[in-house]
Amino acid sequence: MHNFGAGSSVDVVDVVDVSGERTKKCKDCGETKPIVEFYVNPKSGPQACCKPCAVNRAAAQRKANPELARRRSREWVRRNPDKRRANHDRWKYGVPVGFRQTLWASQHGCCAICGTAITAEAGHIDHDHTTNRIRGMLCWGCNKGLGAFKDSIENLTMAAGYLQSTQDLRDLAVEGVTS
Helices 81-93 and 66-79, packing angle to 10 deg: 100
Amino acid 12: pLDDT:
47
Tally the C-alpha atoms within 13 A of residue 92's C-alpha that lie toward its C-beta.
Answer: 15
Could you list the beta-strand ranges (E) of the chain. 2-3, 11-12, 15-16, 22-25, 32-34, 40-41, 45-46, 124-127, 134-138
pLDDT class of 177 with cuts at 50, 70, 90: low
pTM metric for this prediction: 0.61
pLDDT class of 11 with cuts at 50, 70, 90: very low
Per domain, the residue ranges of the chain are 2-61, 98-165
> What are the two backbone dihedrals, phi and then psi, of residue 174, each rounded to the nearest 5 degrees?
-65, -40
Amino acid 179: pLDDT:
53
- Segment 123-133 mean pLDDT: 92
What homologous superfamily is domain 98-165 in, according to CATH? His-Me finger endonucleases (3.40.1800.10)
pLDDT tens digits, one per residue of 32-87? 999 999 999 989 989 999 999 999 999 999 999 999 999 999 999 999 998 999 99
> Residue 3: pLDDT above 70?
no
> Residue 91: pLDDT above 60?
yes
Average pLDDT, the chain: 87
How many CB atoms within 10 Å of residue 31?
Answer: 13
Domain 2-61 in CATH 3.30.60: yes
> Residue 15: pLDDT above 90?
no
Amino acid 156: pLDDT:
95
> Residue 102: pLDDT above 80?
yes
| Dihedral in degrees, nearest 10, Cα atoms 84, 85, 89, 90 | -30
